[in-house]
Amino acid sequence: MTNNAMQTVQIIRIVNECEGIRTLFFKMEYHPIPEPGQFAMIWVPGIDEIPMSISLCDERGIWGITVKSVGDCTKKLHALRVGDYIGVRGPLGNCFPSPKDANKQIFIVGGGMGMAPLKFLAQKLSESEFKYTIIEGAKTDDTLVFVDEIYEITRDSNEFFCCTDDGSYGEKGTSVDAFKKIMNERENDIKNMIVYSCGPESMMYGLFLTCKALNIELYASLERIMRCGFGLCGLCSLDPIGLLVCKDGPIFNLEQLSKIKDFGKYKRDFTGKKVPLD
Ligand SMILES: Cc1cc2nc3c(=O)[nH]c(=O)nc-3n(C[C@H](O)[C@H](O)[C@H](O)COP(=O)(O)OP(=O)(O)OC[C@H]3O[C@@H](n4cnc5c(N)ncnc54)[C@H](O)[C@@H]3O)c2cc1C
């Protein structure tokens, strides 16, 4: 079966992560094993088909998607019960590349729904020889996701920092503020650092400026409206070089991000028209 063929699956478990965010689990029988950073197109019968990051894949082929309720399709996903069916195409897109050597100082910096692929990445790194620091940011403590799970997977030999805009949990400030603080405190060997990020684009843009100024290796996952998920509709194209989020991304490196004029500024609406980012 190809990655793009649709498989119909039954929801086998649902976990409420926090207000308005829940994870749905289902078993994928025939598809390739996803890597952290990849996404799936999720079809909700009678409603729509939308992209969702894969937030978990275990050894039994159970996948998880973590859904924030924002519109028709995500609301319907929230209304589904164990035993209901959805269609899944994937894994699609590229993944966070593995560090080239084990001595790299790995930082995972994210926030909001961006923690979905980053939690999967942290889980995979915890099973390898790589050590990492993960920083999660959120507006308030009640919008932080996966906190217990991340404490659990980082417990043995990795680090986890939380921060909130209002200081209601962890340090006050954004995950980019926390990243800069940790970097300065430790006088890290900057050339040896690698940063993986996913989250609100304004946050990732701030991180990009810091990494660019210091020439730090960065991989950031972008989100755009997409219809097909494999390079046909063109809705997720990025100006001026026409990279497609679905096919060339969703993860882009520092060099690519430097060339994307839309990054941190514009997205496209459902008609393809460019509109400022929220
Ligand atoms: C690669 C990728 C991975 C994603 N991973 C996740 C995830 O793990 N969890 C999650 O909750 N959401 C994720 N999203 C965003 C998710 O696809 C949208 O929230 C969803 O399509 C909204 O559908 P809707 O019908 O509920 O809302 P709509 O009524 O279609 O839209 C509601 C709002 O969401 C915006 N929106 C719609 N589609 C997208 C889109 N594809 N990307 C960005 N904004 C959109 C609209 O502009 C509008 O402001 C991801 C998007 C991409 C491109």
CATH 3.40.50.80 placement within the chain:
105-276
Which two structure tokens, joined as six digits, stand for 184?
């300065």
Residue 76: other Cβ atoms inside 10 A: 18
Peptide bond preceding 97 in cis form (omega within 30 of 0) = no
Virtual torsion, Cα 260, 265, 271, 273, nearest 10 deg: -90
Round the CA-based radius of gyration of the chain to a whole number and report it: 18
| Distance of alpha carbon 69 from alpha carbon 82, whole angstroms | 18
| Beta carbon of 48 within 6 Å of any ligand 1 atom | yes
| Beta carbon of 53 within 6 Å of any ligand 1 atom | yes
For residue 221, give the ligand 1 atom closest to its CA.
Answer: 1
Q: What sign for the dihedral angle of Cα 154, 160, 164, 168?
A: positive
> Among 7-11, 26-30, 101-105, where is mean pLDDT lowest?
101-105
Fold of the 105-276 domain: Rossmann fold (3.40.50)
For residue 249, give the ligand 1 atom closest to its CA.
Answer: 1
Q: How much is the mean pLDDT over the chain?
A: 94
Residues 70-89 pLDDT 10s: 999 999 999 999 999 999 99
Give the rounded percent of residues in the chain with a pLDDT score beyond 90. Answer: 90
Can you give the pLDDT at residue 65?
Answer: 98
pLDDT at residue 188 is higher than 80: no
Query: How far, in Å, from the CA of 153 to the mean position of ligand 1?
Result: 27
pLDDT at residue 189 is higher than 80: no
| Closest C-alpha to ligand 1, atom 40 | 225
pLDDT at residue 157 is higher than 90: no
CATH 2.40.30.10 placement within the chain:
7-92
Residues 125-143 pLDDT 10s: 999 989 999 999 999 999 9
Q: Helix or strand or coil: residue 273?
A: coil
| Of 225, 226, 247, 266, best ligand 1 pocket probe by most atoms within 8 Å of the beta carbon | 225
Cα→Cα distances 241→69, 253, 261, Å: 32, 14, 9
| Distance of alpha carbon 103 from alpha carbon 134, whole angstroms | 16
Query: How far, in Å, from the CA of 39 to the mean position of ligand 1?
Result: 12
Contact 28, 64 (CB under 8 A): no
Q: Where residue 224 falls among pLDDT bands split at 50, 70, 90?
A: very high
Q: Where residue 4 falls among pLDDT bands split at 50, 70, 90?
A: confident
Cα→Cα distances 15→23, 24, 63, 81, 128, Å: 5, 7, 13, 11, 27
For residue 47, give the ligand 1 atom closest to its CA.
Answer: 25
Contact 144, 169 (CB under 8 A): yes
Q: Helix or strand or coil: residue 79?
A: helix
Can you give the pLDDT at residue 1?
Answer: 62
Which two structure tokens, joined as six digits, stand for 210?
């810091």
CATH architecture of 7-92: Beta Barrel (2.40)
Which residues are bridge partners to 108 per DSSP? 134, 196
Give counts: helices (H), strands (E), the chain: 6, 17
Q: Where residue 95 falls among pLDDT bands split at 50, 70, 90?
A: very high
Tell me which H or E stretch contains 87. Answer: strand 85-92
**pTM, to two decimals:** 0.96
Residues 206-219 pLDDT 10s: 999 999 999 999 99
Contact 238, 245 (CB under 8 A): yes
Can you give the pLDDT at residue 135?
Answer: 98
